[in-house]
Amino acid sequence: MSDDDIRRPTRAQGGPLALQDHDLATACAKIIGADNVLTEETARDGYAHDRLPYANFRAREGARVGTLPGLVLRPRTTDEVAHLVSVAAKADHPVIAYGSGSGVLGGIIPLGGEMTLDMQRMDQILEIDTENNLVRVEAGMNGGAFEEALNAKGYTSGHLPQSLTISTVGGWAACRGGGQESSRYGKIENIVVGLKAVLPDGRVLEIRPLPKRATGPSILDLIVGSEGTLAVITELTLRIWKLPEAEEALVFALPTRQAALALAKRIMQTGLHPRIVRLYDEKETKGRTEGMDAFAARPVMANVVLAGEAPIVAAEAAVVREFAAEVDAVETESTPFDAWRAHRYISITKQWLDKGYYNDTIEVTVNWTQAAALYDTIAAQVAELHEDAHFSAHWSHVYPEGVCQYMTLRLPPMDQSKALPIHARMWEIATGETLAHGGSIAHHHGSGLFRGAWMDGEHGVGMDILRRIKAAIDPQNLFNPGKLGFPPRAGAVDPYRDRHADVANV
């Protein structure tokens, strides 16, 4: 292929493919075949946004937050990805890696006709290493299919997010995700031990899966969580665990949120290894415990699941019961937990969106010393925004030093010209107060597009370091521009242009 095969494309904002993009499509078809180059507008429209609630709000009005991708490419191998990236670099056409669009922060939204790399054809487990408890898998494999295949061999990935069945393994690593059993197995950055990834210059980075290193800063940690801004992950090596032989689920009714947080803190700081810890505030508890007398006087619920070898499970369950009694908790039937587990991979947000509501979720982390105050402060300020504004929270990822507070915020159906500014203010309150309380603005959803404005507040001087790394690795700003607080390319659309516009007339 010569440079004559590649011409600089225009940045299509939508509509039919630009003439120059046809030239680029021809060049890419030589690498992956014409059937794997999607050029039709209807096909590209399916990649225009992920599950970012703000984008779905706008889609209800027939509007896009960003643009259509200029092309959608479906590679099958790491070598094909590397060749496509080289073509894109020569054409100076930016690239966005795409898993299955399950993200909720706009991380895959094109802002200027970027070329989308759909990784879902790279969907195979390459090796299960039972000697070292490792699995090597392609980045585009569906999370549910991955876990099912491991279960059939007697193993689990330990990474079970709500989005399990609609996400990819590569997407987990790209956004530094966390599963519902993170208190036992860790988040994805604790599970990934090796990878292959394509850099913006087309070179392939390979990190060998070893137990530990003391050879300078971790390159693995630089890539995991970079959301396609520094590299396109094509293959991962992850830890796996034998499926536990025993399990015991405990459900407690507690008098206050503070008591529930104290229980979780005690469990984790004692060194127990629960599979699941889920604490619910009064609002979220009520919806799950209707008709259960124990919760009339104790309106806060905690679910604690112990797993492993039977003697260890029995011993840990006995310790948890002792801790629960010390905070005036009462053990109840496991019905609420059983109901949650039966529907653990179903998104609640979509159910509200389908009814015309403005529903969003924000997950942050904070140390134990600030957990109760953070909840109270955000709840009070959100309540002042609108008489029907909903705020609730649960705590479903707990650690020795602190906790993830997972908040649900909702407005009733109303005109978007009124709803969007309030929604924006909700985010400002939740994120600003998290930083003011010494917390982190994200636990497992990543940062994508929507959290970009707060990345400097999150990292401080560290954000300058990240920008310099981005500029050194990707001087063309080729990979996923405008995400993670990195700058967009010239000519990019403003994704928030409708917050202050007359959105009633789209």
CB atoms within 10 A of CB 15: 9
User: Which H or E run contains 98?
Assistant: strand 95-98
Copy the structure tokens of residue 32.
């992956």
CB atoms within 10 A of CB 312: 16
Q: Is 492 annotated as a binding residue?
A: no
Q: Apex CA 175: angle with CA 261 and CA 68, to 5°?
A: 130
Q: Which residues contact 279 (CB under 8 A, 6 or more apart)?
A: 257, 260, 261, 263, 264, 300, 301, 302, 303, 394, 395, 396, 398
Active-site entry in 155, 357, 406, 496: 406
CB atoms within 10 A of CB 374: 24
Copy the structure tokens of residue 303.
């679910």
Q: Is 230 annotated as a binding residue?
A: yes
Phi, psi of 115 (to 5 degrees): -90, 125
CB 49 within 8 A of CB 43: no
Q: Is 231 annotated as a binding residue?
A: yes
CA neighbor of 234 nearest in space, from 120, 150, 114, 128: 120
Q: Is 117 annotated as a binding residue?
A: no
The DSSP string of 154-165 is: TEE-S---TTGG
Q: Checking DSSP bridges between strand 276-280 and strand 390-399, what pairing results, if any?
A: antiparallel
CB 111 within 8 A of CB 488: yes
C-alpha–C-alpha distance, residues 457 and 301, integer Å = 33
C-alpha–C-alpha distance, residues 197 and 235, integer Å = 7
Decide if 280 is catalytic.
no
Beta bridge partners of 300: 254
Q: Is 434 annotated as a binding residue?
A: no
Q: Is 229 annotated as a binding residue?
A: yes
C-alpha–C-alpha distance, residues 303 and 183, integer Å = 13
Which residues fall in the annotated binding site for FAD? 227-233
Which residues fall in the annotated binding site? 227-233
**Active-site annotation, residues:** 406
